[in-house]
Structure 1
Amino acid sequence: MTEGPVIAVRGLTKRFGSRTVVDGVDLEVSRGQIHGFLGPNGSGKTTTIRMLCGLLVPDAGEGTCLGLDIRRDAWAIKQRVGYMTQRFSLYEDLTIRENLDFVARLYALKDRRAQVDAALKRLGLTDRAGQLAGTLSGGWKQRLALAACILHRPDLLLLDEPTAGVDPKARREFWDEIHALAADGMTVLVSTHYMDEAERCHRIAYIAYGKLLAKGTVEEVIAGSGLSSWHVAGPERRIAELARTLNGAKGVEMVAPFGATLHVSGQDSAALDAAVAPYREEPGLRWERAEATLEDAFIHLMTGAADNFAGGGAA
């Protein structure tokens, strides 16, 4: 059993040609923790995950994963990690059971049938064990991929945007299982674009354009943004007009419509109050002071980050 943090890296850096895709990232993840890893497309999340599990060698930085050196012990790390990629990577012309049996053979698991049966039962796949993987919906493919990742009982689970493209019910069931795995002692690092998923994590880290911009609990990240917010509700046409009027006004950093409600945020509370003051008493509008949301904080962080990847490329 690994003592100390499951992941502890400092200055993690990766370059592809002239581009620095991951730029001096420090990250620490404790045992049994679900740690969210967030950021826009091309921000460096996938590259970071691949360095952590030994698939990529960092150009700079150091640290450990599961107590093993990320540079010297890549092979040993791979044996103790489950990595679920963005794309479904199992064999679509094999059944669910055949796919899991194949993975069990790769890991040379003893009593393969019992191990596969246990994975099928845990992920609710038993009744579909004979179904071809290629005929599964996105949600069921997701369950199969997770079953394959945990078949060898890893100490660390790395999930790279695992719920992209699946329905809300499947996402919720997936996250219920992730919390059950963490309760059993498994550590999870998961990248996601969904704010509701980020809020289900014990801690989160936000990366944009290769740089780690914020980390902590959800409450700490929101508080660290320093944002103040107002919400105003009213007739849809008036809300749309108000959004155009307030966008770019002094003290207003973000204007986000949500149906017939408008969220208006800024770091300078006094300037924000002055910007909305002329409309506070307008008939038909209902104003209330509100707490900034995690989405507000992330948009604020992204807006202030320098895009040093302009011109394309994914990470």
Structure 2
Amino acid sequence: MSETNTIQVQEVTKSFGKKVVLKDINFDIKKGHIYGFIGPSGAGKTTLIKMMIGMDIPDNGSIYLLGEKMPNLNILQQIGFMAQSDALYEALTGKENLLFFASLFKLDRTEKQKRMAYAVQLVNLTADLDKRVSTYSGGMKRRLSLAIAIIHNPQVLILDEPTVGIDPELRLSIWNELLRLKNEEGKTIIVTTHVMDEAEKCDYIAMVRDGSFIATGTPNQLKEQYEVNSLDEVFLNAGRKKQ
């Protein structure tokens, strides 16, 4: 595995019963890049992400993250994962959730407090930390899930639709921070999204449909390749070409 590649996916196929969810997926993700998976629900994006972090295993093929074949428990300390469905303890407060998840990682007390303050400020939850999560709106739960994903300062952030239900101003603030983490700290960030203006912020995108990559490249490369002005048009044209 190349030193500049954080993730390598080689010939990965996955089926559930008779349904093929992913077919012969190959790609590399370089260190310090934002990589976006774009596509409709059911395209296979979440299944691919689950295999990348070791929550699921390919039927065929291999996945390497930070030089280690997945699944690998030791690598989890280096991954920040935000699932599509919020995995929170609703009977606990926001602060109690953060403390619990922070305790799973190798953080000393000072670092834990520092990272918690950073995370809750980023997602604008400081005023709501003492409220039970059961009282949170859907958007607040997404924000808490994002805070949990970044609390241990991971090398790799894997975020499954991180801004769903989040207001436009905060969404912009979160994306500005993701860009800063990439540019200033060299983080590798993987994002799934339905939102094409978010896809424009990625260094490299893969458009996923029916378990296959129908188009890959930088946003500008794809628009030039299909001679269109928007990624929406790229997706539509790539889908027609695939058919």
TM-score (norm 1): 0.70
Q: For the pair shown, which has the larger CA radius of gyration, 1 or 2? A: 1
Alignment RMSD, CA only? 1.9
Q: Aligned with 1:188: secondary structure?
A: strand
Partner of 2:41: 41
Q: Give the alignment of 1:55-74 within 5 angstroms.
A: 55-70=55-70, 73-74=71-72
Farther off after superposition, 129-138 or 154-163: 129-138
Q: Give the alignment of 1:54-203 within 5 angstroms.
A: 54-70=54-70, 73-111=71-109, 112-183=112-183, 184-203=185-204
Distance 1:186 1:199 in 2: 18
Which residue identity is paired with 2:103?
R
Gaps of 5+ in 2: none
Deviation at 1:192, TM superposition (A): 0.3
Q: 1:107-157, CA deviations, whole angstroms, 9 ceiling, x for partnerless residues? A: 253214444334334444333322222333344333221110111111111
Q: Give the alignment of 1:12-27 within 5 angstroms.
A: 12-27=12-27
Distance 1:38 1:118 in 2: 29
Partner of 1:219: 220
Q: 1:38-93, CA deviations, whole angstroms, 9 ceiling, x for partnerless residues? A: 112111101110111111111111241111112xx521232211110112221222
Distance 1:69 1:11 in 2: 14
Distance 1:121 1:109 in 2: 19
* 1:172–1:115 CA distance, 2 compared to 1 (3 A): closer
Q: 1:173-215, CA deviations, whole angstroms, 9 ceiling, x for partnerless residues? A: 2212211222222110000000101001111111111111211
Distance 1:104 1:63 in 2: 27
Alignment check: 8 A CA contact 2:143 2:166 kept: no
Distance 1:67 1:190 in 2: 20
Farther off after superposition, 185-194 or 142-151: 142-151
Q: Aligned with 2:64: secondary structure?
A: strand
Distance 1:200 1:4 in 2: 21
Identity in percent: 38
Q: 1:159-185, CA deviations, whole angstroms, 9 ceiling, x for partnerless residues? A: 111122333223222212211222222
Report which structure shows greater RCO (CA 8 Å, sep ≥6): 2
Alignment check: 8 A CA contact 1:34 1:203 kept: yes
Q: Aligned with 2:4: secondary structure?
A: coil
Alignment check: 8 A CA contact 1:209 1:305 kept: no
Partner of 2:50: 50
Alignment check: 8 A CA contact 1:55 1:74 kept: no
Q: 1:221-279, CA deviations, whole angstroms, 9 ceiling, x for partnerless residues? A: 12222x4xxxxxxxxxxxxxxxxxxxxxxxxxxxxxxxxxxxxxxxxxxxxxxxxxxxx
Farther off after superposition, 213-222 or 110-119: 110-119
Distance 1:199 1:189 in 2: 14
Which residue identity is paired with 1:58?
P
